[in-house]
Structure 1
Amino acid sequence: MKLYELTDEERINYLLDNNYINNEQADLLKSRTPLPEDLADSLSENQVGMFGLPYGFATDFTVNGKDYLVPMSIEEPSVIAAASNGAKRIRNSGGFTVSVSDHIVYGQIVLESVTDDTLDLLKQRHDDIVKFANDAHPSLFKRGGGVRSLEFHNYNDMMELEIGVDTVDAMGANIVNTILEKTSKEVAAITGCDVLCSILSNSGVGQLVTAQADVDFDQLSTKMMAGSEVAKRIVQLTKFAQVSVKRAVTHNKGIMNGVDAVVLATGNDFRAQEAAAQAFASQTGKYQPLSNWKIVDGRLHGELIMPVEIGSVGGAISSMPMAQLSLAIMKISDSRELRAVIGSVGLANNLSALRALVTTGIQAGHMSLQSKSLAVTAGAIGIEIELVAAVLNKQRDYSLDNAKKVLKELRNK
């Protein structure tokens, strides 16, 4: 049987039998209790319960020569299916090749009431400010991280100190904010200026990932269309996204479907990730697609460039059992590897969406996977869910009224 045909418990046993998880982690999945109450209370204000999202995994990812199962947390069934579908086509063509930049988080100290000599004072004390910033978080410096750049930007009556910090494997928000707030006191003493604010930037420009893949034409073909024609249509649709902002937004949404699902499953800040990705898409002044597809040497070549603003240690990542479980399933060693996997997921989801759009249309596969959810909405329970979904998929009528009608007929029998 295929993985998607197994029961939940059979899939958990598959992970256990193939050494993706241990017995304790298997028990955690079977318990359906993702967070202890005291931990939940510490992570959120006025906490009164748990809001559940389905947790599954995508298959067939080969990234830089290594195979992965990729945990994803999302309420839309077609996203995980699309990730696996795209990944398999790419794997059969050689897999993903991904390069990852250093993990630099930028922070800003903003001064007001600046004078004509403020910039000169800052330049004279450049090295002192860098040393003070590194001393503000000595444990980071010991782990090989620390300040990588310090630049000054003058905005008439305001001055910005832009500090780039290598946060190693941590997402880095708390680390950088701590460094900035401590350093700002020293800067205020040097310049005599007032500090307006000290805060990191979620631009993500220091954390870029470039994911590439070549796809053989025979991996793109359908019953009705040759793979070469599918490839040409994908390229044409990508060109349309480059001139149509409305299409570019939806193009990128398909990428973020997969990216955000992995970010959530690993306990990372998906709001920061979204902010970074959308800012990067707008960096030229016109909103653009994050990926590009073209035909090179008789194959479809895809490239995705985007910031991936995540960590593999610290904060909620280290404290949430399900986040640790996700890292264990992927056998992730550091944040660079995790960023590479996430970039690959984005490109895989993008490929699946584009291929569907230029062939059968997005609804054919999307609604067949949504049929179970529709059955539940209609009132189906237990085995009724599978039975109603099967009828809906056969009829290709995915209206709620039809789902209720099918359920009523089933119960009457």
Structure 2
Amino acid sequence: MTQPIEGFSKLTKEQKIDWLTTHYTTDPEAAKALLKRYWNVAEDVQQLHDEFIENTITNYYLPLGIAPNFLINNKLYAIPMAIEESSVVAAASKAAKFWLDKGGFKTQVLGTEKIGQVHFMYHGNKERLTAFFEQVRPKLLSDASAITKNMEKRGGGINKIELRDKTEALDHYYQLHCTFETLDAMGANFINSCLEQFAKTLKAEAQSFPLFSEEEKAIEIVMSILSNYVPDCLVRAEVSCPVDELKGGSSESSRQFAEKMVQAVNIAKVEPHRAVTHNKGIMNGIDAVVLATGNDFRAVEAGIHAYASKDGPYTSLTHAAIENGTFKFWIELPLALGTIGGLTSLHPLVKLAMEILGKPSAQELMQIVAVAGLAQNFAAVRSLVTTGIQEGHMKMHLLNILNQLGATEDEKKTLTHHFKKHSATHNAVVEAFEKLRSTK
């Protein structure tokens, strides 16, 4: 039985690998060789990756692809996407090309407000706490001035600090609900630093507030942390065209195709089981761009899915309608992104991705990311209501299956050509591969 290890973080990378492969792999030498195979040959790049996280043993690569021909607010973009799933980049590219000659994508940032909270417990009179907060609010701002100074010079800073009574949900629970403008930074470190200072000031000033009893002075700070739910950091992206110009790629008329698109979105609005998969497709596009640009896709995912439930049931993030002969397809969602700080200034490929996008501001990046999500959803729903999702997906997945089977380059070429005219189910690919091998 493997025993716990003390001081693992203090070992060198080689020592970590030796210990790991010895205790947790069946062929330590093969495992070591595999891990080292994925090290970057450039030592400075490898050291940079080693220092991103703790206990690094190697790199885990994802493909970085490009989806071209995105016309956004009359500007043409090639969008970098980092993702492992087949057909995502192809679908985004196909949607971009579809809308290219129809006016492209139109976007608008509706808000950029970020949120953070100081969560605390207070045992006492609510009116006295309110009076205390009104007195201490200027002190909260002044004590944080050293933190906010540089952000304020750039036009950002603290927008508002509110006292919120949450005792109906949890006994004695209150919070300072704070909003911020962080400009081109995602702002997590800035917001958390401000919140922790607010907490210190709140606790210290309570000790000298004359209306408080001794019990009321003992405000208990539970935690101070930003929120990844940012419903007022919103962006909208949309496409539209006359219904007559909408071709579904099937025998249906443009009108029938448009109506099925609307019906499909409406189903996702009322059926949570469908909405989750519907929105997952949107996140295929969003996460891929968020990851390629060095942003936090877990935070983005959490905030967006919370937004999908803001009115109660979990529902579709996209909307579709036919109005006066025009088909409209749009999305509104929260996106807290940054273009300075973090990996955006450290990771070489993130820097390149930002350059490819024209070195966008945070607001511009919000719009690009929203478009990627909308395009991905349009492509997915279009496939679902016409040919079905598997036809295109499996053809994109074909090489993965052939690689699993150990196909040679010649076999890949032969079978890729074969499945241009045949359905590429997993069983069909295996059968065709085995038949090809047997004829040699």
Compute the TM-score of the two structures, normalised by the length of structure 2: 0.82
| Structure 2 counterparts to residues 12-411 of structure 1, below 5 A | 36-116=45-125, 117-156=128-167, 157-191=172-206, 192=217, 193-217=219-243, 218-399=245-426, 402-403=429-430, 405-406=432-433, 409-410=436-437
Deviation of 1:71 (Å):
0.2
Change (3 A) 1:223 1:71: same
The answer on whether the counterparts of 1:61 and 1:87 sit within 8 Å (CA) in structure 2 is yes
Q: 2:325 and 2:43 mapped to 1: Cα distance?
A: 47
Q: Deviations over 1:129-159 (max 9, x none)?
A: 2333343232212221100111110123122
Q: 1:327 and 1:202 mapped to 2: Cα distance?
A: 23
Change (3 A) 1:233 1:105: same
Deviation of 1:272 (Å):
0.2
Change (3 A) 1:165 1:34: farther
1:372 corresponds to which letter in structure 2? L
Change (3 A) 1:320 1:400: farther
Kindly tell me the number of residue pairs found equivalent between the two proteins.
Answer: 383
SS at match of 2:66: strand
Q: 1:386 and 1:169 mapped to 2: Cα distance?
A: 46
Change (3 A) 1:324 1:56: same
SS at match of 2:81: strand
The answer on whether the counterparts of 1:378 and 1:400 sit within 8 Å (CA) in structure 2 is no
Q: Which residue of 1 aligns with 2:35?
A: none
Change (3 A) 1:110 1:123: same
Q: State the Cα RMSD in Å.
A: 2.1
Q: 1:410 and 1:34 mapped to 2: Cα distance?
A: 43
5+ residue gaps, structure 2, are 1-39, 207-216
Change (3 A) 1:100 1:364: same
Deviation of 1:72 (Å):
0.2
SS at match of 1:95: coil
2:155 corresponds to which letter in structure 1? G
Q: Which stretch has the larger CA shift, 158-167 or 207-216?
A: 207-216
SS at match of 1:77: coil
Q: Which stretch has the larger CA shift, 212-221 or 40-49?
A: 212-221
Q: Deviations over 1:274-296 (max 9, x none)?
A: 00000000011111100100112
1:144 corresponds to which letter in structure 2? G
The answer on whether the counterparts of 1:105 and 1:207 sit within 8 Å (CA) in structure 2 is yes
5+ residue gaps, structure 1, are 1-30
SS at match of 2:144: helix
The answer on whether the counterparts of 1:99 and 1:211 sit within 8 Å (CA) in structure 2 is yes
Change (3 A) 1:44 1:387: farther
Q: 1:231 and 1:132 mapped to 2: Cα distance?
A: 57
Q: Which residue of 2 aligns with 1:15?
A: none
Q: Which stretch has the larger CA shift, 111-120 or 340-349?
A: 111-120
For the pair shown, which has the larger CA radius of gyration, 1 or 2?
Answer: 2
2:370 corresponds to which letter in structure 1? G
Percent identity reads: 34
SS at match of 2:55: coil
Deviation of 1:110 (Å):
1.1
